[in-house]
Amino acid sequence: MKHSVLLDTSFFIRLLNDEDKLHNNALGYYKYFLENEITLKVSTITIAEYCVLGKITDLPLTNIQILPFNLKEAQRAGEFANILFTENKVSITNLHPRAIIPNDSKLFAQADIDKTIIHFVTSDVRSKSTLKMLKNGLIPKFEIISIDVPFSDTFGILDL
C-alpha cells in the first residue's frame, strides 16, 4: 500500500510564505514527499481554513489529492471530539444546545479513516498535545510530523 500524508493549514501557510521562519522546512518536506512518491493529501476543511485569509489559487493543488469530509469522517470526528471534551473536562452543559467540533478532531478523523495516511503534517504545536489526549481514549493510526523539525532530522537523512 502506498503511503500518504495529510497536510494541515499551518503547513501551507509556511510553504507559501518564503519569509516565514519555517518556510525552508515546509519546502523541504514538500520536496521530500514528492521525490519519494508519498501522496500528499489536503482536507476540504484545511482548504476552508486557508481561504479565510488566502486564495484557493495559491495552493499547489495539482500535486495534492483533495479529501472531502463525509459521513464516516463526521461520525469519527464526533467520537474524537467526545474523547477530547472528556480529557479537557468540558462539562455536558457547555455542549448544549450544540457542540462545536474543533477542526483538529475533524482532520484527525480523516487521517484515521484513510488507510494510507501515516502522518499529519503541521507546525501547530497544539496538535501534538491534542493527539496525546486522544490516545487516552483510542489509538489513532497516524502520527504527527511537526515541521519545526527539518525533514532531514525527521527521516534521518543527510541533507547535502
d(C-alpha 6, C-alpha 158), whole Å: 24
Q: Which domains does the chain have, with CATH numbers?
A: 4-153 (3.40.50.1010)
pLDDT of residue 131: 80
Give 22's contacts (C-beta < 8 A, 6+ positions apart).
Answer: 14, 123, 147, 148
Per residue in 66-90, pLDDT (tens digit) is 999 999 988 988 887 877 777 666 5
d(C-alpha 15, C-alpha 113), whole Å: 26
pTM beyond 0.75, yes or no: yes
pLDDT of residue 91: 58
Strand partners, 35: none
The answer to whether residue 15 scores a pLDDT higher than 70 is yes
Least trusted range by pLDDT, from 34-43, 46-55, 121-130, 134-143? 134-143
